[in-house]
Amino acid sequence: MRSAQAAFRASLVALAAAIAALLAHVTIDIAGDFLLAHDTYDGIDHESRAVFVVAIAALAIAVTARVLFDVLDRRCGSTKSLLRVVRTKLGSPAPFVLQTAGLAILTLAGMELLDCVTTATPVDDVADLFGGSLALGLSATIASGAAIGWIVHRLVRLIADHEPAIAVLVFRLVRATPGVSVEATAIIRAHAPRAIVRSLLLARRGSKRGPPLLIPA
């Protein structure tokens, strides 16, 4: 269970950091046009953004699916779900925010390095990976990491606090369709003996000679 908790928490930090890095990358690209004499993000195709959009979507789906399967598996009366355990382990927002911001800085540098490699653009300085200015790049990334980290931390705590009600709702939605089938099956079973008796009576009458049918003139 502890390994699952650690993996889930790491997934949350990675998701928050990826979103923060993507947001910071776009922010640096826009702000650099006005604040820097030479913006190293200009003239480069930023293919890494599309890659990260897909990666963020995939990671978000994976995290959501993990929570959903956990909710369905725990039989909503239990309070020891993975999300609620992780919620208690999150603690204050500060550690989560710091981890998100630190990973976002590394992720942003990796994004720009990928863009430079794919476009054969030389990297003369570490500052080139942050738009040409460490002050601008780091401040934008730290701000994005802090904001996204706090939002994700708050969202996880909010969902965990209301998870029992969410679990009940999910169970009702999942069982709604089978419930209709069960009711239909019960109705069919209730009417089945009548249909069988009627068929037997018709068969018996058909085997005997009865009065001729009236044919209209």
- Nearest alpha-carbon partner for 23 in 52, 45, 64: 52
pLDDT at 88: 66
Distance of CA 192 to the CA centre of its chain: 46
CB count, 10 Å around CB of 63?
18
pLDDT at 177: 55
Ranking 19-23, 127-131, 176-180 by mean pLDDT, the lowest is: 176-180
Task: Give tens-digit pLDDT for 150-199.
Answer: 999 999 888 877 777 777 777 777 776 554 444 443 433 444 444 434 44
Average pLDDT, stretch 11-25?
96
Distance of CA 88 to the CA centre of its chain: 21
Burial class for 82, CB neighbours closer than 10 Å (0-12, 13-18, 19+): buried
Q: How far apart are CA 87 and CA 90, in angstroms?
A: 5
Task: Note whether residue 128 is domain-resident.
Answer: yes
Handedness of CA 119, 30, 107, 3 (dihedral sign): negative
Using pLDDT thresholds of 50, 70 and 90, give the confidence band for residue 27.
very high
pLDDT at 160: 79
Task: Note whether residue 171 is domain-resident.
Answer: no
User: To the nearest whole number, what is the mean pLDDT of the chain?
Assistant: 79
Task: Note whether residue 83 is domain-resident.
Answer: yes
Helices 134-161 and 82-90: angle between axes, nearest 10 degrees? 130
Task: Note whether residue 117 is domain-resident.
Answer: yes
Task: Give tens-digit pLDDT for 72-124.
Answer: 765 544 555 666 667 666 778 999 999 999 999 999 999 999 999 999 999 99
Instruction: Please report, to the nearest 10 degrees, the dihedral formed by the alpha carbons of residues 173, 177, 182, 188 taken in order.
Output: 150
Task: Note whether residue 51 is domain-resident.
Answer: yes
Q: How far apart are CA 8 and CA 21, in angstroms?
A: 20
Q: Which domain, by its residues, includes 79?
A: 2-161
- Nearest alpha-carbon partner for 93 in 26, 16, 37, 36: 16
Task: Note whether residue 30 is domain-resident.
Answer: yes
pLDDT at 66: 81
* Structural domains of the chain, count: 1
**Percentage of the chain lying above the pLDDT 90 cut:** 49
The pLDDT of residue 69 is above 50: yes
Q: How far apart are CA 21 and CA 104, in angstroms?
A: 5
